[in-house]
Structure 1
Amino acid sequence: MPETGYWAVFLIGLLGGAHCIGMCGGIVSALSGPQPGTASVWSRQLAYNLGRISSYTCIGAAVGALGSASLLFNRFLPIQLALYVLANLMLIGMGFYLMGFTRVLVGVERLGQGLWRRIQPLSRHLLPVRDWRGALPVGFLWGFLPCGLTYSVLSLALVSGSALRGGGLMLAFGAGTLPNLLLAGMLAMRYRNVVRSRSFRLVAGLIVLAFGVYGLIRAPELGGRLWAGVVCAV
């Protein structure tokens, strides 16, 4: 995927490490023990994250297809533009969230809590995780965890206007979150303390906020080069 927009979403996932660790840190820590052996830990961590990223990709494809089928982007530019502005406002909100203004996206995260209450009990039947076969479905279910960062990127997937682009966006985002959660799972608190430090969160939040501000400035051309190949342009 050569388009810059996919790299931008990858970077958003990478910079959102503090938030990802806060949301999924407990489960990745549980996957690091008590089974002995480094190979066993790595296999469980990788399987969990593969399941989680697969879930993101499926949701992104569904949202992208929904946008393509129901909004007829090629005919209704005002609708497309409004959703594009909303997507960038979500990124700005996520930037503030990362900087410590944690109430900004609380309302957005509540939108998915109804679905999560139905899905979470399914994961309990799969715990404790003893090998990668158990970690894979747990990761897939955990991909539905209500998360403001995930919803911010999903809003871009909706504007993408196709299942392929929507799935690709969420795949790039999931890949960006992977290093943080792998390191958090293997190094536990030592890495988490660095990523969740105030200075890291401030820098990460400012960069994500900048993506949203840039997108709003370039709204008349739907993001220009930054979101080229991602947003369905007329």
Structure 2
Amino acid sequence: MNPTGLDLPPLAAAFIFGLLGGAHCIGMCSGIMSALTFAVPPSMRSPARMVGLVLGYNIGRITSYMLAGALVASLGALVSLAPGVRTAMQWLSSLMLCLMALYIADIWKGLRHIEAVGKRYWKYLEPAGRTLLPVTRPYQALLLGAVWGWLPCGLVYSMLGWSLATTTPLQGAMLMLAFGAGTLPALLVTGIAADQLRGLLQSRSTRWLAALLIIGLALWQLAIMRQG
């Protein structure tokens, strides 16, 4: 039995969401990734040091995703004790999947309105991240990633909406871990490779295929719910 309580399809789907949302991640995080690279004096830019900084940043970022997923899942488990709430959260989860599909397919960008809500609180957290710049040590990169993991992002909020329908903090954390792992390729590649990856992810055929897969998963979840 899967110790997380999550079957492979949801985890695989969460990974795909992160992967296909990579173009969005490049746009939002390219500045901080550049800061990690160019703030280090040339004499200190050894391959091992730079790899350590990039990995530290991404580990911190994904850890914050997991923490948020666990917190949201805990809230979901608490409120689901009320009659009918569990079913409502499952419907919400499927709705968030559909909204994410529309976002990835570039049909509807309503998730950006959700980001506007988070920006009200981000202005209080962002200064903490800036105190860690310039980043020259792995622990600084780790802490900066942990702060940047709370950057307002519609894709992350959609995943948290999905985490709300899970039943345990571990499930919520694992779902966000899979999503965070999916975002790694877009943030680890640079230069020409990043441009090529961005082009692939932004192609209309790729976006539409991803959207259809996501909507299919949402319908599958609803079918499982009805059978239960």
TM-score of the pair, normalised by structure 1: 0.82
Matched, 1:159 2:159: no
Q: 2:89 aligns with which of 80, 83, 90?
A: 83
Q: Secondary structure at the match of 1:26?
A: helix
Q: 2: distance between equivalents of 1:146 and 1:126?
A: 19
Q: Secondary structure at the match of 1:103?
A: coil
Equivalent position of 1:133 in the other structure: 139
Q: 2:23 aligns with which of 18, 36, 41?
A: 18
Residue by residue over 1:102-155, the C-alpha shift from the partner in whole angstroms, topping out at 9 and shown as x without a partner, is 532122222322221211111111112223221111100111111111111111
> Percent identical across equivalent pairs?
41
Equivalent position of 1:53 in the other structure: 62
**5 Å matches for 1:1-234?**
1=2, 3-4=7-8, 5-35=10-40, 36-72=45-81, 76=83, 78-101=84-107, 103-184=109-190, 187-221=193-227
Using a 3 Å threshold, how does the CA distance of structure 1 residues 157 and 221 change in structure 2: closer, same or farther?
Answer: farther
Q: 1: distance between equivalents of 2:34 and 2:119?
A: 23
Task: Tell me which amino acid in the other structure corresponds to 1:40.
Answer: R
Task: Tell me which amino acid in the other structure corresponds to 1:68.
Answer: A
Using a 3 Å threshold, how does the CA distance of structure 1 residues 186 and 167 change in structure 2: closer, same or farther?
Answer: farther
Q: 1: distance between equivalents of 2:58 and 2:25?
A: 12
Using a 3 Å threshold, how does the CA distance of structure 1 residues 79 and 158 change in structure 2: closer, same or farther?
Answer: same
Task: Tell me which amino acid in the other structure corresponds to 1:54.
Answer: T
Q: Secondary structure at the match of 1:161?
A: coil
Aligned length: 219
Q: 2: distance between equivalents of 1:126 and 1:82?
A: 42
Flag as ranges the 4+ runs of structure 1 deviating above 4 A. 184-188
Q: 2: distance between equivalents of 1:30 and 1:200?
A: 30
- Aligned alpha-carbon RMSD (Å): 2.4
Structure 1: runs of 5 or more not aligned: 223-234
Could you tell me whether the CA contact under 8 Å between 1:90 and 1:152 is conserved in 2? yes
Residue by residue over 1:148-174, the C-alpha shift from the partner in whole angstroms, topping out at 9 and shown as x without a partner, is 111111112111121121112112221
Q: 2: distance between equivalents of 1:33 and 1:125?
A: 17
State the 1:38 CA deviation: 2.2
Q: Secondary structure at the match of 2:164?
A: helix
Q: 2: distance between equivalents of 1:128 and 1:6?
A: 35
Q: 2: distance between equivalents of 1:185 and 1:83?
A: 41
State the 1:60 CA deviation: 0.9
TM-score of the pair, normalised by structure 2: 0.84
Q: 2: distance between equivalents of 1:212 and 1:184?
A: 33
